[in-house]
Chain A
Amino acid sequence: MAQEQLKPFKYDDVQIGEELGSYEYVLTQEMLDSFRASVQDPDACFPTLAVKHDATALNMVYDDQVGGVNAGNEVEFFNPPIVGKKIFVKGRIHDKYLRRDKPYMVIEATAVDEDGRMLERLRTYQMKKPDEVGKKWHPQS
C-alpha cells in the first residue's frame, strides 16, 4: 500500500472532523486464519480489528514520530466481513481534548464491503504522551 507525502504529525494542528486516509483491501483467508490463531478463537470473525482500520487511516496521512498509547477502544459490529470481498475504509479525527493536562485524540474508521454492507465502526482513544504512561506502569518491574 503506497504511503506518499506523509505529513509530519503535530497534535496542535490536527482538526476535529478532519478526514484521514480512505483505502481498500481484500480480506484473505490467510488474514482470517492468522487473526484467529493470534487470539485463540477459531470462530472469531472480525479480523478487521487486527487490521486496525483507524490507526491505518491515520498512518496513511501522517508520519507520527510521537506515537501514542491506546487508552481505550469502542467498536460496533454490524456484519462480519467475508473472505475474498473488498473492504472499503474511511477514517477521520473524531475528537481531541486535554485530560489532566495530557493530550488525547480519538480516531475513527468505518468499514463497508464491496456489496455496501456495513461491517464495523472502530474508535481509538490515543493518549499522545506515551512516556507519561510508561512511567505510571513502573517499567522496571
Chain B
Amino acid sequence: MASPILDNAPIPTLTKSVTEESILQFESCGILDRQNIHNNHELAAQRLGTSYTLASGRMSITFASEALRRFFGPEVFNHSGSVNLKFLRPVKDGDTITVSGSVIQQDPVDSGTQVTVMVQCQNQNGDTTAVGQGSAIVP
C-alpha cells in the first residue's frame, strides 16, 4: 500500500455466490478422490443430519483472503498475510456471502507494521457465517 493505513479503515467489501457447482468444483481440486460432507449428500445427512451438503470453510477463508489481498495488495498479502476464521453457521448452495471488515490494530514489527483487520462473512439473510481476523505486515 502506498499510503499509511488508517485505524478503522474498511477493507473492500466482497460478495460471492455459492452454488452446488462451485462447492463441487472446490472439492475437486483435492488430490484424494474422497467423499465427504461437502460433496456427498448421503454423508452430510448421516453425519450432520442436514438435507444439504456444506461449502468447505476453506471457501470462506479464500473469500476473506481475496478481500484482504485487495486491501493490502498481492505483494504484501501473498507473502505475509494470514486469516483466522471461526465458522458459526453453515454455507450452502444458494447462499450469497459478503465479506467485510476494518482495521482494528497496528503494531510495529522488525519488517514494518503488522496490520490486523477484523473480518466477518455474512449470508444473504444478514446472519454471520464466519468471524475472525486477518493480518499482513506492511513494509
Contact = CB atoms under 8 A, between A and B. Distances in A.
Interface of A: 1, 3, 23, 25, 31, 34-35, 37-41, 43-47, 49-52, 56, 59-60, 66-67, 69-80, 124-125, 130-131, 133-135, 137, 139-140
Interface stretch (B21-29, B103-111, B114-122): B21-29
Interface of B: 16-17, 22-23, 25-32, 34, 36-37, 43, 47-51, 56-59, 61-63, 65-66, 69, 74, 77-87, 89-90, 132
B26 A134 contact: no
A96 B66 CA distance: 30
A105 B9 CA distance: 35
A130 B84 contact: no
A50 B26 contact: yes
A37 B78 contact: no
B32 A3 contact: yes
A34 B31 contact: no
A25 to B, nearest CB: 5
Given A38-B29, A73-B84, 16 more contacts: A25-B31, A34-B29, A38-B25, A38-B26, A38-B59, A39-B66, A41-B66, A59-B34, A70-B56, A72-B85, A73-B85, A77-B80, A79-B78, A131-B48, A134-B47, A137-B90
B62 A41 contact: yes
Nearest to B81: A77
A74 B82 contact: yes
B82 A134 contact: no
A118 B110 CA distance: 19
6 contacts: A39-B16, A39-B22, A39-B26, A40-B16, A50-B29, A75-B82
A-B pairs with the 6 shortest C-beta distances? A134-B48, A50-B29, A38-B25, A134-B49, A38-B26, A70-B57
B59 A139 contact: no
Given A56-B31, A72-B87, A130 B79 contact: no
Nearest to B86: A72
